[in-house]
Amino acid sequence: MRRTALALIALLSCLPLLAGGNLFRWRDADGKLHIGDNLPAEAIQRGYDIIDDRGRVIKHIDPPPTPEELQKRREAQRRAELERQRRAAQAERDRALLLTYGSVAEIERARDERLNLIKSQIRVNRDRLQQLEKELAQLQQNAKRNFLDRKREVPPLLADRIERKQAEIKATRERMQRFEQAHARIEQRFEKDIRRFRELEAARVEIRQGSREGLRVREDDLR
């Protein structure tokens, strides 16, 4: 139904051409050539030519696309739009990069400042973790020596302190892991920025060199 509708639209768009006495030319399923002023449904589905009275092609009408072809077109359009968006986003990132930094050295300084902050947080949490593990070991040793080894039940207060210390150790480890992951992400992001900055700088150098070459050529032409 959709293919037929598309074909009818194409046919209606050709009506002005037929007003001057032009004809249709098409081939049937057996490959036999037909020419006439009436266009059968088969010709619409297979594609045809509009010709003048001398047999010259005025316009060729392709067969309407199949559902599969329409789907492929939509997919191609979707991919093209995604690529356009990607290029636009990259251009915006490039612009921000060049506005933010004037050299690779500036990017490296910004990177080192960020990484040093993260490293300091990692050190703080590592020191805290060592202290917590030491405190937990003392609590567990107390529970073992004074209660478990004597077949006595660990007092609720001591058991609660051990449990809370274990929870704090777990939270500190997770926090330190997040800082380590952030350190890796920041390092990778800045390395990517440095590579891209160098690419953009190289491109600008090529453009400037090309402009100078073009200027020299024009000056030579004027001599």
The answer to whether 51 and 23 have CB atoms below 8 angstroms apart is yes
> 3-state class of 154 per DSSP?
coil
The answer to whether 23 and 36 have CB atoms below 8 angstroms apart is yes
What confidence score (pLDDT) does residue 53 get? Answer: 83
Q: Are strands 57-61 and 48-51 parallel, antiparallel or unpaired?
A: antiparallel
What confidence score (pLDDT) does residue 18 get? Answer: 44
Of the segments 27-31, 64-68, 160-164, which one has the largest average pLDDT value?
160-164
Mean pLDDT of 19-30: 80
Quote the CA–CA distance of 134 and 20 in Å, as a whole number: 99
The answer to whether 163 and 139 have CB atoms below 8 angstroms apart is no
What confidence score (pLDDT) does residue 13 get? Answer: 45
* Residue 188 amino acid letter: Q
